[in-house]
């Protein structure tokens, strides 16, 4: 299965059905807070009109969307205590007036498209417990004032564009349990002041630009369970030996951090389960001390470790992955690593010793069937002619990876009653959003992605008495989540492929209504709306054309600019296939992928509606006709953005995807020249593991793609892999550097560049419109592009390697050139994601469903919540 060790990434959708809400009557909202809410709405762009009732009545008594209120003792007014506006397709900025909501406890705008800074005025709200702003496009520094919030339990600002240092004032957040700051552009050192946080459980700062030494003082954090800092640059730093004193630590993940020195003794971590120190510059022997028996994953690959493999690995009964690939380990292949493991059910062990210096296989070496040993690239493979060695030494492209988030959809109904009242609804939201459900540590950190209210009264018509106690509710949730995990695991193992239904003779419109219950988070447009948006598909609105059909720029009724792909008649799909494609696209959420806004499927028409990208395609700006040529810094940032988008498709999309048509015309640029990968019409789902847990190395498929970008090995063998996208991106990198097209006047860009590169004279091929550039950075980018375009699949870097090298080149830019230059564009791009329109309360019972292919909902009127362990 794709999940790594004991920390699966997951998405849980919790669905709650209620039919009655208690309304506090006889009071009204504090007039000052009414003005604040209006100021907040004034800064927001609401294309789906989710906040339409914010113009009617009293916020608290009229139940404005996402506004929850409480009666404060000795106060004549009701006060706003929660703003729950997550996943509502809101853009615009967060108004600083929010700091005047003096009784606010929850500020939740996650998974929208907000831009601008986080207002420092948030620090004026002493009652705040939850701040969840993740999944937006917020930028600028983190305000020091957030450190004033001593009641704050959780700060989640991951998946934004926030820069600058982590404020030292965060060391004052004495109630904080969860600091999620990953996937931003934070820089500087991790403040040692964070060690003062007595309640901190999760410190997630991976995928930033952090540097400097790892703080020794983190060892003093009394309750830290997860320290995740992958993909930063702690160059010259070593792993502090004091981390062995963090007795509560479950997970230590420091992948690709430029760490040096040796691996410290970690035997004092009595609850330890997951260790990833791969892709660093660690040296010396592997410690012989024994790790905790809970350990499932040890990844020490791609370092400079030496010595022999310690026997202590044999005492780990729960081990699932041991990777020491790509080091200098010598001696014999150990034969007892699995000796203490009882393989039950589908439990298995992967031991990856590839590319080391192992020279001996013991005579009595018979691993169980559930154990996979990988030895290629060791001297023992070259020196032995035995059949056993030949079997173990077969080259493999097996990849153990964390995989996508595990998606779960939970529908929750009251037990012993037909109704939920509002207090129970609020409590349930808090249980999920604040991580107050006690789950097994194996579940790992998760997050609420969605919560939606609606009705299933007709399908679950029964009534019993009183409500749930908190303990009972938590028990139901834990049981539901456990069942969902089990179901997802079974689905992953046994569902090997999806079969598409043939087109029916039933009308396409009725079929779509039948299958659209599986489409989550996209808007269904009518043909009339599409015609109005494009002035009846006037030629003046056409902005492109491809094999799928024509692309039009349209303006929706609310003024949002969109790109509308209208299929021509020969490209029409069956409605089920079309709906399946929409469902797949609706799950792709990344800052470097073009967002799907909606679709139209009526009047014998099929259209996909995307966010509009005002700066066109990368190819447009590389053309000789471009009025304003891109400078090197812009080109590098565009390349890095495109690579990150494709890496997300390969490793984080659910399910993983091979794009299969990466090219310069499919890399679009928003108003700030941020690159976004588009056009998934030829994409294919990545292979899944078989019943034995073996992941196929490729997909056998008909060759499709664009000449000049096609992977030659894929073209010859029909075997599609993730390295096929790497090749295509390599061609794009060559275009970025040279300005040439892949094939022009009989000249092939890969051949032309290779000839110049091998001759050592590259000056003649670099785009002359880049008037000045750092030669050493250009040379590194050219070297990377050439590696990506090698004929042999195994000789190309992985997409993760490409992202890493591009980021290293970006960091090496001379001071003042590392940031994108300001553009004169004033156009903004509306990036729309999944809409959420909570409805009124309804009746229900308990029902749980889960699946690994994404978080679709059976009915858009059902209350849903999505929780994502990472």
Determine contact, residues 799/725, Cβ cutoff 8 Å. Answer: yes
Cα 104 from Cα 339, distance rounded (Å): 55
Determine contact, residues 151/126, Cβ cutoff 8 Å. Answer: yes
Asked if omega into 655 is within 30° of 0 (cis), the reply is yes
Determine contact, residues 4/401, Cβ cutoff 8 Å. Answer: yes
- Is residue 105 annotated as involved in ligand binding? no
Pairing of strands 657-658, 349-352: unpaired
What are the residue numbers of the active site? 661
Q: Which of 714, 713, 778, 789 is nearest to 748 (CA)?
A: 789
Cα within 13 Å of Cα(850), Cβ side:
27
Determine contact, residues 121/93, Cβ cutoff 8 Å. Answer: no
Ramachandran sector of residue 166 (left: φ over 0; alpha: ψ -120 to 50; beta: rest): beta
Copy the structure tokens of residue 706: 């664009």
Count CB-CB contacts under 10 A for residue 570.
Answer: 8
Copy the structure tokens of residue 563: 């790109």
DSSP state letter for 408: E
Q: Which of 179, 228, 189 is nearest to 209 (CA)?
A: 189
498 Cβ contact list (under 8 Å, min separation 6): 580, 685
Sequence-distant contacts of 41-46: CB under 8 A, at least 24 apart = 42/95, 43/92, 43/93, 43/94, 43/95, 44/90, 44/91, 44/92, 44/93, 45/90, 45/91, 45/92, 45/560, 45/830, 46/88, 46/89, 46/90, 46/558
Judged by DSSP in three states, 710 sits in coil
Determine contact, residues 650/658, Cβ cutoff 8 Å. Answer: yes
Helices 799-811 and 775-788: crossing angle, nearest 10°? 180
Cα 450 to Cα 88, 307, 590, 863, distances in angstroms:
10, 49, 17, 9
Place of tokens 């990344």: 590
Judged by DSSP in three states, 555 sits in strand
Cα 286 to Cα 63, 313, 339, 359, 362, distances in angstroms:
60, 10, 20, 18, 21
Strand partners, 743: 748
Copy the structure tokens of residue 848: 């749980």
User: What sign results for the dihedral spanned by CA atoms 769, 774, 775, 778?
Assistant: negative
Cα 78 from Cα 71, distance rounded (Å): 5
Cα 742 from Cα 754, distance rounded (Å): 13
Determine contact, residues 280/234, Cβ cutoff 8 Å. Answer: no
DSSP state letter for 747: E
Annotated binding site for ATP: 565
Annotated binding site: 565
């Amino acid at each position: 299965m794709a999940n790594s060790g004991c920390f699966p990434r997951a998405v849980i959708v919790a669905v709650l059905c209620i039919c009655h809400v208690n309304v506090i009557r006889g009071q009204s909202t504090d007039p000052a807070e009414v003005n604040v809410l209006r100021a907040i709405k004034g800064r927001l762009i609401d294309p789906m009109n989710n906040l339409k009732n914010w113009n009617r009545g009293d916020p608290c008594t009229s139940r404005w969307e996402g506004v929850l209120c409480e009666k404060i003792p000795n106060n004549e007014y009701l006060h706003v205590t929660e703003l729950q506006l997550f996943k509502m397709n809101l853009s615009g900025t967060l108004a600083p007036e929010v700091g005047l909501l003096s009784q606010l406890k929850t500020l939740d705008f996650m998974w929208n498209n907000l831009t601008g800074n986080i207002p420092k005025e948030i620090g004026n709200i002493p009652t705040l417990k939850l701040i969840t702003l993740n999944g937006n496009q917020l930028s600028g520094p983190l305000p020091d004032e957030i450190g004033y919030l001593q009641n704050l339990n959780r700060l989640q600002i991951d998946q934004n564009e926030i820069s600058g240092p982590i404020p030292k004032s965060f060391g004052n957040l004495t109630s904080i349990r969860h600091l999620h700051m990953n996937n931003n552009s934070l820089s500087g050192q991790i403040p040692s002041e964070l060690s003062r946080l007595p309640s901190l459980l999760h410190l997630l700062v991976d995928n930033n630009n952090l540097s400097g030494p790892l703080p020794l003082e983190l060892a003093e954090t009394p309750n830290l369970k997860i320290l995740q800092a992958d993909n930063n640059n702690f160059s010259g730093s070593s792993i502090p030996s004091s981390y062995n004193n963090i007795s509560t630590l479950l997970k230590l993940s420091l992948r690709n951090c430029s760490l040096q020195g040796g691996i410290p003794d970690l035997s004092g971590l009595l609850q330890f389960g997951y260790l990833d120190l791969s892709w660093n510059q660690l040296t010396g022997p592997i410690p012989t001390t024994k790790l905790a028996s809970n350990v499932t994953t040890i990844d020490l690959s791609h370092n400079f470790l030496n010595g022999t493999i310690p026997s202590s690995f044999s005492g780990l009964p729960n081990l699932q992955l041991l990777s020491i690939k790509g080091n200098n380990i010598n001696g014999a292949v150990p034969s007892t690593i699995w000796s203490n493991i009882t393989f039950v059910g589908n439990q298995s062990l992967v031991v990856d010793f590839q590319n080391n210096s192992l020279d001996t296989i013991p005579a009595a070496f018979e691993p169980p069937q559930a154990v996979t040993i990988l030895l290629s690239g060791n001297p023992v493979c070259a020196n032995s002619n035995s059949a056993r060695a030949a079997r173990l030494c077969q080259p493999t492209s097996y990849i153990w990876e964390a995989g996508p988030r595990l998606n779960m959809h939970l529908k929750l109904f009251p037990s012993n009653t037909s109704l939920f009242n509002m207090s129970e609804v609020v409590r349930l939201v808090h249980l999920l959003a604040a991580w107050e459900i006690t789950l097994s540590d194996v579940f790992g950190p998760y997050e609420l992605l969605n919560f939606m209210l609606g009705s299933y009264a007709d399908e679950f018509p029964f009534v019993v008495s009183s409500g749930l106690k908190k303990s009972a509710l938590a028990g139901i949730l834990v049981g539901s989540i456990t069942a969902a995990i089990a179901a997802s695991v079974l689905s992953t193992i046994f569902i090997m492929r999806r079969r598409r239904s043939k087109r029916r003779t039933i009308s396409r419109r009725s079929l779509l209504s039948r299958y659209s219950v599986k489409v989550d988070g996209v808007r269904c447009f009518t043909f009339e709306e599409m015609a109005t948006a494009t002035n009846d598909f006037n030629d003046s609105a056409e902005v492109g054309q491809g094999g799928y059909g024509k692309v039009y720029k349209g303006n929706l009724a609310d003024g949002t600019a969109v790109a509308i792909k209208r299929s021509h008649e020969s490209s029409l799909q069956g409605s089920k296939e079309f709906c399946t494609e929409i469902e797949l696209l609706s799950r792709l959420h990344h800052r470097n992928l073009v967002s799907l806004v909606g679709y139209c499927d009526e009047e014998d028409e099929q259209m996909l509606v995307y966010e509009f990208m005002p700066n066109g395609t990368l190819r447009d700006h590389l053309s000789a006709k471009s009025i304003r040529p891109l400078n090197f810094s812009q080109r590098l940032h565009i390349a890095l953005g495109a690579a990150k988008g494709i890496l997300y498709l390969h490793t984080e999309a659910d399910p993983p995807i091979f794009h299969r048509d990466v090219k310069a015309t499919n890399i679009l640029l928003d108003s700030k020249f941020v690159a976004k990968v588009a056009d998934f019409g030829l994409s294919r789902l990545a292979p899944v593991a078989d019943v034995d847990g073996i992941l196929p190395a490729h997909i056998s498929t008909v060759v499709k793609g664009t000449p000049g970008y096609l992977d030659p090995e894929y073209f010859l063998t029909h075997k599609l892999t993730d390295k096929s996208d790497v090749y295509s991106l390599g061609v794009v990198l060559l275009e970025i550097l040279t300005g040439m097209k892949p094939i022009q006047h009989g000249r092939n860009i890969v051949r032309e560049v290779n000839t110049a590169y091998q001759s050592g004279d590259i000056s003649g091929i670099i785009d002359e419109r880049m008037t000045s550039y750092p030669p050493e950075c250009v040379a590194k980018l050219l070297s990377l592009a050439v590696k990506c375009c090698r004929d042999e699949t195994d000789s190309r870097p992985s997409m993760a390697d490409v992202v890493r090298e591009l980021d290293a080149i970006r960091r090496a830019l001379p001071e003042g050139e590392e940031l994108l230059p300001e553009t004169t564009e004033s156009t903004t791009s509306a990036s729309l994601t999944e809409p959420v329109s909570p409805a009124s309360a309804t009746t229900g019972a308990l029902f749980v469903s889960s699946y690994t292919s994404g978080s679709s909902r059976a009915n858009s009127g059902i209350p849903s919540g999505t929780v994502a362990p990472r």
